């Protein structure tokens, strides 16, 4: 599944240590990998979280049936807890999954002192949780869009009758066939529906006994089948995972592409390795970039994603700095399948709507802003301009060489559009008013971190240049998510990362039925919805790509979103750390991470 990522903070300037300390002493009891998150977590119950930090943790505790081969390019679907890839009917409406016998949940008092095997019914229960109105999951749309027979109707009945959700009631579209097999039946063809079963957020299995025992706070009691289990949690401060003694024997099996020297080297090194390779994962929450960077330099963390405001110090010109290379630090550099964007709330009376003047206003704001300047000044050059909301590495992305207005700032055209549609300075105060003379003020939301402050300064400058008064709403990231889902924000920006190598999710951000869920813009256009639904039913091929590009053109025309940038990540690993570090799709980065004993 896709993950919301906060626009994490850049730090104020102060002198930087240019010497790299030896890694600090490790806690006793085996190999330890230490890392810092740049945003606080919210919890570890899969349906309830969407932030990157929480998903990174739960991805090492819970498991879906399928995953993506860590090394294959292009991406390749492989079993995780499933015994094989699912059986799929010729009409893409029936999917049958078989779970590998002998996989067990981590031990927990909820199981009464007995080993608890993972079974097909656990996936049936886990998917039904998303339909429970009492849970209010942000990810419900992922299943409802697939039109699983009977589940949306069951949810509606529960809402109408105001009764508890009947988890034991069987529906036609989701049922366990026996102990290890379950099937999903859909009302419409969905050729890529199996991709949903790679998501650690929406397709991981939880045990009903655990959820019911810890109903008061399931976020604090994650119990899964993955390689680690939660040992310590100090909210917004520190998270410690330790090896799950019940974890099955899983040996590394990767399929690197021919000519991919790095991936082939990783495959050779990991051949036959058993997961997990470390005994303990220690995560600190360090929101500001400067202390996070210094902690890596001082050996307190084993790896770091280079803060963009420090990229010139760590990776000048995209190359590892010599002082880091001399100490054996390793660099992994990637253009991510993600998009940093700003959305307009179409329910907002000022910026929303489909009339020519409202479309012109949003286009003018897009043209007045300068994403290339953001990449250079705010992100240290560690991003590439976006031409649409579909990022690189995803099926349906723009053809090579295509340039759109998204990446080309033009304040003169912005001002001309505003003038043409009546957004002029009626009262002579130096600021534009609405066409009828009413006051005009943009409200853009930001979390309270350093990078966001720099972004707000850029927005203020660019909007002032075309006469648009702008005010900022500042609140913690979690609160902004809640306000966005409730339609209470006019504009906000963050980053969406792809959970699968397909552009469907990013088009789905403008799909009308996804409003109040992933469609933060609350964009509802019948012509777009038809195109979106048609492309979902088709297998990959020229006909589907043509529909995706037509839908994309409507997004570009109506501007529910400004697509700014695709992030370049620079991951640094100390010499004693053995990757691969980052996984393009999926959240379990550290299943195959290893560390050697630190130098004396």
282 class by beta-carbon count within 10 Å (0-12 exposed, 13-18 middle, 19+ buried):
buried
CA separation for the pair 345, 351 (Å, rounded) = 7
The secondary element (H helix, E strand) that includes residue 594 is strand 594-595
Helices and strands, number each (H, E), in the chain: 17, 21
Give 308's contacts (C-beta < 8 A, 6+ positions apart): 10, 289, 378, 379, 380, 382, 383, 451
Query: What CATH number belongs to 24-262?
Result: 3.40.190.10
pLDDT given for residue 348 in this prediction: 98
The secondary element (H helix, E strand) that includes residue 344 is strand 338-344
pLDDT given for residue 402 in this prediction: 81
Q: How many CA atoms lie within 13 A of 367 on its CB side?
A: 18
CB 381 within 8 A of CB 327: no
pLDDT given for residue 56 in this prediction: 94
Q: Which residues pair with 567 in a beta bridge?
A: 383
Task: Show me where the domains of the chain are located.
Answer: 24-262, 344-568
CA separation for the pair 190, 199 (Å, rounded) = 16
Q: In this structure, how many other beta carbons lie within 10 angstroms of the beta carbon of residue 213?
A: 16
pLDDT given for residue 599 in this prediction: 54
pTM: 0.85
CB 135 within 8 A of CB 177: no
DSSP of 106-166: PP-GGGTTS--B--HHHHHHHHHHTT-TTT--TTHHHHHTTTBTTHHHHHHHHHHHT----
Q: Do domains 24-262 and 344-568 have the same CATH topology?
A: no
Q: Which residues pair with 470 in a beta bridge?
A: 442
**Fold of the CATH domain 344-568:** Dipeptide-binding Protein; domain 3 (3.10.105)
Distances (CA, A) of 124 to 46, 118, 280, 342: 15, 12, 31, 36
Calculated CA dihedral for residues 236, 342, 11, 287, nearest 10 degrees: 10
Conformational region of residue 443, where left means phi above 0, alpha means psi within -120 to 50, and beta covers everything else: beta
Q: How far apart are the first and last CA of the chain?
A: 42
CA separation for the pair 309, 289 (Å, rounded) = 8
pLDDT per position in the chain (600 positions), as tens? 444 554 333 333 323 333 444 444 454 569 999 999 998 999 999 999 988 899 999 999 999 999 999 888 888 999 999 999 999 999 999 999 999 999 999 999 999 999 999 999 999 999 999 999 999 898 998 899 999 999 999 999 999 999 999 999 999 999 999 999 999 999 999 999 999 999 999 999 999 999 999 999 999 999 999 999 999 999 999 999 999 999 999 999 888 877 777 788 888 889 999 999 999 999 999 999 999 999 999 999 999 999 988 999 999 999 999 999 999 999 999 989 999 999 999 999 999 999 999 999 999 999 999 999 999 999 889 999 999 999 988 999 877 778 888 888 999 999 999 999 999 999 999 999 999 999 999 999 999 988 899 999 999 999 999 999 999 999 998 899 899 989 999 999 999 988 899 999 999 999 999 998 899 999 999 999 999 999 999 999 999 999 999 999 999 999 999 999 999 999 999 999 998 778 778 789 999 999 997 555
Whether the link from the prior residue into 236 is cis, omega within 30° of 0, is: no
pLDDT given for residue 446 in this prediction: 96
CA separation for the pair 224, 210 (Å, rounded) = 10
């Amino acid at each position: 599944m896709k993950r919301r990522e906060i626009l994490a903070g850049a730090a104020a300037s102060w002198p930087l240590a240019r010497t790299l300390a030896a890694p600090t002493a490790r806690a006793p009891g085996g190999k330890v990998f230490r890392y810092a998150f740049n945003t606080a977590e919210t919890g570890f119950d899969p349906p309830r979280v969407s932030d990157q930090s929480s998903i990174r943790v739960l991805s090492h505790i819970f498991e879906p049936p399928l995953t993506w081969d860590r090394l294959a390019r292009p991406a390749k679907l492989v079993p995780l807890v499933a015994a094989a890839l699912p059986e799929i009917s010729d009409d893409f409406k029936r999917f049958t999954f078989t779970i590998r016998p002998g996989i067990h949940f981590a031990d927990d008092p909820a199981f009464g002192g007995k080993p608890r095997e993972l079974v097909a019914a656990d996936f049936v229960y886990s998917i039904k949780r998303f339909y429970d109105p009492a849970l209010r999951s942000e990810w419900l749309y992922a299943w409802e869009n697939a039109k699983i027979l009977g589940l949306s109707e069951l949810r509606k009945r529960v809402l109408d009758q105001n009764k508890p959700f009947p988890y034991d009631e069987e529906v036609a579209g989701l049922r366990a066939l026996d102990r290890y097999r379950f099937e999903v039946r859909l009302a419409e063809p969905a050729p890529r529906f199996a991709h949903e079963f790679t998501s650690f957020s929406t397709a991981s299995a939880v045990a009903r006994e655990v959820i019911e025992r810890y109903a008061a706070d399931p976020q604090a009691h994650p119990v899964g089948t993955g390689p680690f289990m939660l040992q310590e949690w100090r909210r917004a401060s520190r998270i410690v995972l330790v090896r799950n003694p019940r974890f099955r024997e899983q040996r590394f099996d990767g399929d690197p592409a021919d000519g991919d020297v790095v991936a082939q080297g990783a495959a050779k090194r990991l051949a036959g390795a058993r997961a997990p390779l470390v005994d303990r994962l220690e995560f600190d929450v360090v929101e500001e970039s400067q202390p996070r960077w210094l902690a890596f330099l001082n050996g307190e963390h084993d790896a770091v994603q280079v803060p963009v405001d420090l990229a010139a110090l760590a990776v000048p010109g995209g190359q590892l700095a010599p002082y880091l290379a001399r100490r054996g630090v390793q660099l992994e550099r990637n253009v991510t399948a993600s998009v940093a964007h700003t959305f307009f709330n179409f329910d907002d009376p000022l910026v929303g709507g489909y009339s020519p003047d409202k479309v012109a206003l949003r286009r003018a704001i897009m043209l007045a802003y300068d994403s290339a300047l953001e990449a250079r000044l705010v992100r240290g050059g560690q991003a590439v301009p976006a031409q649409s909301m579909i990022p690189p590495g995803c099926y349906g992305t723009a053809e090579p060489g295509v340039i759109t207005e998204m990446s080309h700032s033009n304040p003169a055209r912005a001002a001309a559009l505003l003038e043409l549609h009546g957004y002029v300075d009626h009262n002579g105060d130096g600021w534009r008013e609405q066409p009828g003379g009413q006051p005009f003020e943009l409200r853009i939301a930001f979390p309270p971190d350093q990078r966001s402050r720099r972004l707000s300064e850029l927005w203020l400058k660019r909007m002032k240049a075309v006469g648009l008064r702008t005010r900022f709403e500042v609140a913690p990231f979690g609160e902004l998510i809640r306000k966005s889902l409730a339609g209470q924000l006019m504009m906000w920006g963050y980053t969406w990362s792809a959970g699968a190598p397909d552009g469907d999710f990013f088009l789905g951000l403008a799909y009308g039925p996804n409003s109040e869920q992933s469609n933060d813009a609350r964009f509802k256009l019948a012509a777009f919805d038809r195109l979106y639904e048609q492309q979902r039913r088709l297998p990959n091929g020229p006909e589907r790509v043509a529909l995706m590009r037509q839908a994309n053109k409507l997004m570009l025309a109506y501007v529910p979103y400004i697509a700014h940038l695709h992030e370049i990540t620079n991951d640094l690993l100390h010499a004693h750390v053995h990757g691969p570090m980052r996984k393009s799709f999926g959240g379990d980065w550290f299943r195959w991470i290893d560390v050697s004993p630190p130098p004396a």
